[in-house]
């Protein structure tokens, strides 16, 4: 069963739930910047619910400079290994199909704003 605050992201905000590699590729290769919310296990990690509440607020604060999706359990472990962002919850940023940065664990608001601003300014690695 999905945590209600994670379900809110897909049900209320209509963020896609990425359940397979093709969903992931289709979402991350679209034009613009994309944030993948990797929740981890909300029963074992209480920070997951916090990030599920914070991320929509961050998206609003950055005035839609990125869109968001929720990573499904089915591909979470593989994605975490591939990106080397092993801690959860995490936010993984993509542009043009390439990872440009990540923020693992919950952070305070000022750190989120600073780090996201830095990540958005980064070029895509070759």
Main-chain phi, psi angles of 125, to 5 degrees? -65, 145
Instruction: Write out 41-90 in H/E/C secondary structure.
Output: CCCCCCHHHHHHHHHHHHHHHCCCCEEEEEECHHHHHHHHHHHCCCCCCE
Q: What is the pLDDT of residues 103-121, one digit of tens each?
A: 999 999 999 999 999 999 9
Q: What is the pLDDT of residues 63-112, one digit of tens each?
A: 989 999 999 999 999 999 999 999 999 999 999 999 999 999 999 999 99
- Do 37 and 91 contact (CB within 8 A), yes or no? yes
Task: Give the residue carrying structure tokens 């980064």.
Answer: 122
Predicted TM-score (pTM) of the model is 0.94
Q: What are the sequence ranges of the domains in the chain?
A: 4-121
CATH number of 4-121: 3.40.30.10
């Amino acid at each position: 069963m999905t945590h209600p605050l994670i379900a809110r992201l897909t049900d209320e905000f209509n963020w896609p739930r990425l359940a397979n590699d093709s969903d992931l590729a289709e979402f991350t290769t679209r034009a613009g910047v994309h944030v993948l919310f990797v929740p981890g296990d909300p029963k074992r990690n209480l920070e997951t619910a916090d990030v599920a509440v914070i991320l929509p607020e961050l998206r609003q604060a950055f005035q839609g400079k990125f869109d968001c999706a929720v990573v499904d359990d089915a591909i979470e472990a593989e994605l975490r290994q591939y990106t080397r962002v092993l801690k959860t919850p995490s936010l993984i940023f993509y542009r043009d199909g390439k990872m440009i940065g990540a923020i693992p664990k919950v952070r305070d608001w000022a750190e989120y704003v600073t780090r996201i601003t830095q990540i958005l300014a980064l070029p895509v690695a070759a």
